[in-house]
């Protein structure tokens, strides 16, 4: 089952522009993570934000988390053609589980 839905499903921008992807989820979480997947490959972890954190930065990436709205956003600033990939949010549910449940994903295309 999917825990999260991402919006938009696909996004095409020009190099240098910022890209924002949103993720909404359904149940309480321990943490929320963002991953990147190049076509047909494994996943690369980008950022983990805990349920008691509101914002986190890593290089050109900025992640926010609003637990009251059950939503998160990923901002990629000054995008590059190499940022072209699918981006997924994933949540570790509250309680004793360690399971990571993925959202539907956003396909980002950065045009050179």
Partner 1 sequence: GAVVSQHPSWVICKSGTSVKIECRSLDFQATTMFWYRQFPKQSLMLMATSNEGSKATYEQGVEKDKFLINHASLTLSTLTVTSAHPEDSSFYICSALPDSGRNSPLHFGNGTRLTVT
Residues 6+ apart with CB under 8 A from 110: 12, 13, 14, 15, 17, 19, 79, 80, 81, 82, 83, 84
Query: 19, 63, 73, 105: which one contacts partner 1 (CB under 8 A)?
Result: 105
Q: Pick the closer one to partner 1 by CB: 19 or 89.
A: 89
Among 11, 43, 75, 109, binds partner 1 (CB under 8 A): 43
> Is residue 22 near partner 1 by the rule CB under 8 A?
no
Give, as ranges, the residues between 53 and 92 that touch partner 1 (CB under 8 A).
88, 92
For residue 48, is it left (φ>0), alpha (ψ between -120 and 50) or beta? beta
Judged by the rule CB under 8 A, the positions of this chain that interact with partner 1 are 1-2, 30-31, 33, 35, 40-45, 48, 50, 88, 92, 98-105, 107
């Amino acid at each position: 089952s999917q825990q999260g839905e991402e919006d938009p499903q696909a996004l095409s921008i020009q190099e240098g522009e910022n890209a924002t992807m949103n993720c909404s989820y359904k149940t309480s979480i321990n943490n929320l993570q963002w991953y990147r997947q190049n076509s047909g490959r494994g996943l690369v972890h980008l950022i983990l934000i805990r349920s008691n954190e509101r914002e986190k930065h890593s290089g050109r990436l900025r992640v926010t988390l609003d637990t009251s709205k059950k939503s998160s956003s990923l901002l990629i600033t000054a995008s590059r053609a190499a940022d072209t990939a699918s981006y997924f949010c994933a949540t570790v549910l509250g309680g004793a589980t360690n399971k990571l449940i993925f959202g539907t994903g956003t396909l980002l295309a950065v045009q050179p």
